[in-house]
Amino acid sequence: MGIQAKQSQDAGNLILANLYQIKPYDTKLKTYDFEGNEVSIPLPKNTKVNRMSDYYFNLAKRAKSKAKNVHIEQENLSSKKAFYENIYYALEQAKTPYELELLVPKRAKSLRKKEKLREGELFWIEDYKVLVGRNANENQKLLAIAKANDVWMHIRDVPSSHVIIRTDKQQLADSVLQAAAKLCVDFSVKNSGDYEVDYTKRKFVKVQEGAKVLYNKYDTLRVTKEGVEIRV
C-alpha cells in the first residue's frame, strides 16, 4: 500500500475508533494514532459523523488504484525500453541491407494507421505484415486481434514477444518464417545462444491467463543469436 493510501486508511480507522467524541460541528479530530503519536485529522465538511470515515476510506481506495496503475504503466514502459534496447543490439549485429530494412522498415510507419495498430510494432517480411508485442499487455492484445489462420510465434520455455504473421491462408515460405523467428528472438532476449521458436496457426493457440497460452499442432525453428560486439 502506498504512503498516501495508508495515511487515508489510518485516518478512516481513527475516526471510526473515536466516533463517540466527534461533534457534528467539529472540523478536526485530535487524538493519538495506533503508535501513540498525537495527530490532528481534518474532518470533511457537510458530512454526517458516521460517514466521515468513509470519506477517508474512499480516498485510500482511489490512492491504491492510482498507485497500482502507475506500477502497471511503469512495468509497460520498462518492457518497451528493453524491447527497443534489443532492437539496438540487433542493429549492431546486422550485416546486410536486408537485415537493416527488416528491423527498420520504411513503410511500416506510414501504414501503421491503416493497420489500426495501437499496440505492438509493425514490420514487413517479403510483403507480409508482422506484428510484434513489446510486453505482456501487448502480447495479449495481439492474440485478441489475430485471425484464425494467422501464424503465431513464441520462444519455447522463455518469456518472449509474441509474433503474429498476417497470412490470409497463404502458405508461408521458409524464408518468411525464419526471418520472423529471428525477429522474435532478437526482440526478446539479449543473451547469445541457440533458441527454439515454436509456431502454429492462431486458431491452435488457447489463451489461459493474460498472455499465457497453451498450443498444439506446432512446428519449431532453431535460431542462433550471436553475441554483440562491445564497442569502446
Angstrom distance (rounded) from CA 223 to CA 178: 8
Structure confidence at residue 62 (pLDDT): 84
Is 90 exceeded by the pLDDT of residue 163? yes
Structure confidence at residue 232 (pLDDT): 29
Q: What pLDDT digit, counting tens, does each position of 53-99 carry?
A: 888 888 888 887 777 767 666 766 777 777 777 777 666 676 666 66
Contact 168, 191 (CB under 8 A): no
Angstrom distance (rounded) from CA 209 to CA 92: 35
User: Domain residue spans in the chain?
Assistant: 3-68, 94-225
Q: How many CB atoms lie within 10 A of CB 75?
A: 13
Mean pLDDT over the full length of the chain: 81
Lowest-confidence region among 85-99, 198-212, 213-227 = 85-99
Structure confidence at residue 95 (pLDDT): 66
Cα-based distances in Å from 89 to 145, 158, 214: 29, 19, 30
Q: How far is CA 120 from the centre of its chain?
A: 10
The pLDDT > 70 percentage for the chain reads 80
Name 17's Cβ contacts closer than 8 Å, sequence gap at least 6.
31
Instruction: Tell which wins on pLDDT, 160 or 87.
Output: 160
Residue 129 — left, alpha, or beta (φ > 0 → left; ψ -120 to 50 → alpha)? beta
Structure confidence at residue 104 (pLDDT): 63
What does residue 180 show for φ and ψ, rounded to 5 degrees?
-65, -40
Task: Over range 173-187, report the average pLDDT.
Answer: 90
Structure confidence at residue 180 (pLDDT): 93
Structure confidence at residue 10 (pLDDT): 85
Contact 173, 206 (CB under 8 A): no
Angstrom distance (rounded) from CA 100 to CA 15: 64
Contact 190, 158 (CB under 8 A): no
Task: Over range 157-177, report the average pLDDT.
Answer: 89
Q: What pLDDT digit, counting tens, does each position of 100-140 carry?
A: 666 666 555 555 455 556 677 888 888 888 998 888 888 88
Task: Over range 8-25, report the average pLDDT.
Answer: 84
Grid coordinates representing 204?
491452435
Instruction: Tell which wins on pLDDT, 173 or 114.
Output: 173
